[in-house]
């Protein structure tokens, strides 16, 4: 019997702003799960979208993680350094006729039907350059071919998930019109090249997973195990994010914030831990971490409460 691959997890923030509490939850959960499974934990900065990045954000994210006592295996990977691999994968898709150039602009697609993942691409350019208003422009995106079969996976926390990509999103972009590699392709290539076996991240990214699995299958890559943790919300019930003005985690007296993260993740740290140092908090966390306490929860209300999607008993592994 072959030995199972070593567990490799990762935390992969985008430098579009500082580390906020919602991102801290994903970092804590992914690190603790990697440690509990006796594996490696990697840090990857997904800096492939310069128009959205904020100057100095990547450095500040790394500094915040260090301040909170995170330790990762190996050097930080900056995704921009993997562009050669991203473009090689893109060329493989094009050479195999699994992807094609698309001349459609957003304006061209305004009349396309809306689906759960946004506008559903109608396949305008599948057999050649589209006839939309942008068809004479020199800029082209590249889209990957999809079909309407079920693309599914069993999430370790949220249960069985599936999408029919062709009817729910249509052929999706892997190279943007501005020449930048799209997120879906970059993350798939980097997870493969870093030998990532398990992804623990926020549930807001769960809709992306079937598209990533689709690309993994086209490229012949193994599919990691996925666990999508509930997202933290503000008092209005809106997901904490850089786009909604989430504040950076404090850089002084960080222990209470780390304990708040553990409480939000339903780990029930004891009151005595409030007076502990950062090292002691992590040691307690390593000994007591239980990812399954988040099973079936989709959203964390202010104060660390959570709401379920469906009763836990309805899920099967």
For residue range 244-270, list pLDDT tens digits in order. Answer: 556 889 999 999 999 999 999 999 999
Look at residue 298 and tell me if it is in a domain: yes
Closest CA to 170 of 188, 146, 191: 146
Lowest mean pLDDT among 32-46, 92-106, 167-181, 293-307: 293-307
Mean pLDDT across the chain: 88
Domain assignment present for 279: yes
User: Is pLDDT at 155 greater than 80 in this prediction?
Assistant: yes
Residue 233 lies in a domain: yes
Residue with structure tokens 């090292």? 279
Rg of the Cα atoms in the chain: 20
Nearest to 184 by CA among 169, 193, 173, 194: 173
What's the domain range around 46?
8-82+186-314
Q: What is the mean pLDDT of residues 63-81?
A: 97
- With respect to residue 1, please indicate whether it lies within any of the assigned structural domains: no
Count the neighbouring beta carbons within 10 Å of the beta carbon of residue 217.
12
100, 236: one domain: no
Q: Does residue 190 sit in the same domain as residue 278?
A: yes
Nearest CA among 245, 251, 229, 252 for reference residue 304 = 229
Helix runs in the chain, H state only: 21-36, 57-67, 83-95, 165-168, 183-193, 209-219, 255-264, 278-288
Give residue-wise pLDDT tens across range 98-116: 999 999 988 888 788 887 7
- Whether residue 104 sits in one domain with residue 49: no
Does 99 lie in the same domain as 172?
yes
Residue bearing the bigger pLDDT, 44 or 240: 44
Instruction: Please give the backbone phi and psi of residue 9, each rounded to the nearest 5 degrees, phi first.
Output: -110, 175
Domain of residue 75, CATH code: 3.40.50.620
Average pLDDT over residues 196-224: 97
242 — pLDDT class (breaks 50, 70, 90): low
- Tally of structural domains, the chain: 2
Residue 184's pLDDT band (cuts 50, 70, 90): very high
Both 198 and 76 in one domain: the answer is yes
Indicate yes or no: pTM above 0.85. Answer: yes
Are 232 and 166 within one domain?
no
1, pLDDT greater than 60: no
pLDDT band, residue 27 (cuts 50/70/90): very high
Q: Is the pLDDT of residue 14 over 70?
A: yes
4 pLDDT above the threshold of 50: yes
Asked if residue 141 and residue 222 are part of one domain, the reply reads no
Residue 204 in contact with residue 26, Cβ under 8 Å?
no
Cα–Cα distances in angstroms (integers) from residue 279 to residues 70, 245, 271, 306, 309, in the given order: 10, 30, 16, 27, 34
Tell me, yes or no, whether 2 lies in a domain: no
In this prediction, residue 79 has a pLDDT band, given cuts at 50, 70 and 90, of very high
* Residue 56 belongs to some domain of the structure: yes
- Of these ranges, 33-47, 109-123, 286-300, the one predicted with the greatest mean pLDDT is 33-47
Q: Would 236 be classed as within a structural domain? A: yes
Residue 111 resides in a domain: yes
Are residues 307 and 198 part of one domain? Answer: yes
Higher pLDDT, 300 or 273: 273
Residue 219, pLDDT score:
98
Specify whether 219 is located in the same domain as 91: no
| pLDDT confidence bin for 243, thresholds 50/70/90 | low
- Whether 204 and 300 map to the same domain: the answer is yes
Q: Are 72 and 194 found together in one domain? A: yes
Say if residue 56 is in the same domain as residue 107.
Answer: no
- Bigger pLDDT: 10 or 236? 10
| pLDDT at res. 133 | 44
Residue 193: pLDDT band by 50, 70, 90 thresholds? very high
pLDDT on residue 135: 45
Of the CA atoms within 13 Å of residue 43, those in its CB half-sphere come to 20
The reported pLDDT for the residue numbered 301 is 59
- Say which range, 8-17, 137-146, 191-200, has the weakest mean pLDDT: 137-146
pLDDT of residue 139: 76
User: Residue 303 has what pLDDT?
Assistant: 47
Q: Is the pLDDT of residue 310 over 70?
A: no
Angle at which helix 83-95 crosses helix 183-193, to 10 degrees, equals 110
């Amino acid at each position: 019997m072959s030995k199972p691959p070593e567990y490799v997890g990762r935390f992969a923030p985008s430098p579009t702003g500082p580390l906020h509490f919602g991102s801290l939850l994903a970092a804590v959960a992914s690190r603790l799960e990697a440690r509990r499974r006796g594996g490696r934990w990697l840090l990857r900065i997904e800096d492939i979208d310069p128009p959205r990045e904020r100057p100095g954000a990547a450095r500040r994210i790394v500094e915040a993680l260090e301040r909170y006592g995170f330790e990762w295996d190996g050097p930080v990977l900056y995704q921009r350094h993997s562009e050669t691999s991203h473009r090689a994968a893109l060329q493989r898709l094009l050479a195999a006729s699994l992807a094609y150039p698309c001349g459609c602009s957003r304006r061209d697609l305004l009349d396309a039907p809306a689906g759960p993942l946004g506008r559903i691409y109608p396949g305008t350019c599948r057999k050649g350059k589209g006839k939309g208003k942008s068809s004479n422009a020199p800029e082209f995106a590249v889209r990957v071919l999809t079909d309407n079969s079920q693309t599914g996976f069993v999430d370790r926390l949220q249960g069985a998930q599936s999408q029919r990509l062709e009817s729910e999103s249509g052929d999706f972009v892997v190279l943007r019109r501005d020449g930048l590699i799209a997120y879906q392709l970059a993350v798939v290539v980097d997870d493969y090249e870093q030998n990532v076996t398990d992804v623990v991240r926020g549930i807001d990214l769960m809709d992306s997973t079937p598209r990533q699995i689709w690309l993994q299958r086209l490229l012949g890559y193994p599919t990691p195990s996925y666990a999508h943790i509930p997202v933290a919300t503000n008092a209005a019930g809106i997901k904490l994010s850089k786009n909604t003005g989430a504040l950076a985690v404090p850089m002084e007296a960080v222990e209470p914030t780390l304990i708040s993260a553990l409480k939000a993740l339903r780990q029930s740290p004891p009151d005595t831990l409030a007076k502990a140092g950062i090292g002691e908090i992590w040691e307690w966390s390593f000994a007591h971490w239980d990812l399954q306490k988040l099973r079936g929860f989709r959203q964390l209300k202010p104060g660390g409460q959570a709401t379920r999607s469906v009763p836990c008993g309805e899920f099967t592994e």
